Structure 1
């Protein structure tokens, strides 16, 4: 049985939380909230339980990513999260052996099918090993060369000109 892709579930949760902020009391979509929060009608400040359509980052990082033919494509090394808290991309370590010669490739989170099978997350990416090996290497912002237009935060600020 295939579960709904995680991005559709995330969109449904985000849309429902917008509607909840306009109602008198939040429902259980974010988990149980304190009675003070429910009484004020404000957005919940604490989430007390994981919902069935949510996945823990700690369970995803290190998980094997499988291809359409059930071959191992690599492991999730990290998640790229935007300021809004959305997972923008999954960083997958591909190639190499025992971490030597491995490179990081980032794919949009929506392209990874995440299902839960027997209590474990199963991740499938509709790409081949060759496509991932030939994909561009993902580089973190603080490790990017200066020629890419990234900001070098380690450089001291230029003092203002004296008159």
Structure 2
């Protein structure tokens, strides 16, 4: 019983539905999520992904729309605090063909994701000017 519960908690911490930010307490004695360390600290475990789960690869590159269905940006990345909780959605705004764009980090609770016929979309309640004037995030797509 403990192993499926741990797998479910781990999956909940790593999948995008965590954007809803459920504050459920972890199972006693179990630590969910990835660890920040320079070596592995736990024996390998496997998880089951449910059909309703959203993979981050489906969101990266997804167009961000406002409630008027206007394009206001594109999802570039997800910020994950200490390998456990999605704390930000990095969105590129402005620019043309990658020139002059800037980045902002949105709180996951202000982002809605939607899938219609296999096409993903992200919605925020704002406009282009508000995002262009939002606090900028220094972001490099490099993995180093």
Task: Give the alignment's TM-score, normalised by structure 1.
Answer: 0.59
Unpaired runs of 5+ residues, structure 2, are 1-16, 30-43
Matches within 5 A, 1:2-81: 6=17, 7-8=19-20, 10-11=21-22, 15=24, 18=26, 45-52=45-52, 54-81=53-80
Asked whether the 8 Å contact 2:112–2:123 carries over to 1, the reply is yes
For the aligned residues, what is the CA RMSD? 2.6
CA distance in 2, matches of 1:116, 1:79: 18
Distance 1:93 1:63 in 2: 11
How many residue pairs match? The answer is: 110
Q: Residues of 1 paired with 2:106 and 2:48: CA distance?
A: 30
**Secondary structure in structure 1 of the residue aligned to 2:121:** strand
Contact 2:76 2:92 in 1 (8 A): yes
Cα distance in 1 for partners of 2:129, 2:77 equals 21
Decide which structure has the larger Cα Rg and report it: 1
- Spell out the pairing of 1:1-163 with structure 2 (5 A cutoff): 6=17, 7-8=19-20, 10-11=21-22, 15=24, 18=26, 45-52=45-52, 54-140=53-139
Q: Which runs of 5+ in 1 are unaligned?
A: 1-5, 23-43, 142-163
The offset of 1:77, in angstroms, is 1.0
* Alignment partners' CA distance in 1, 2:115 and 2:45: 27
Question: How high is the TM-score relative to the length of structure 2?
Answer: 0.66
Is the helix fraction higher in 1 or 2?
A: 1
Higher relative contact order (CA 8 A, sep 6+): 2
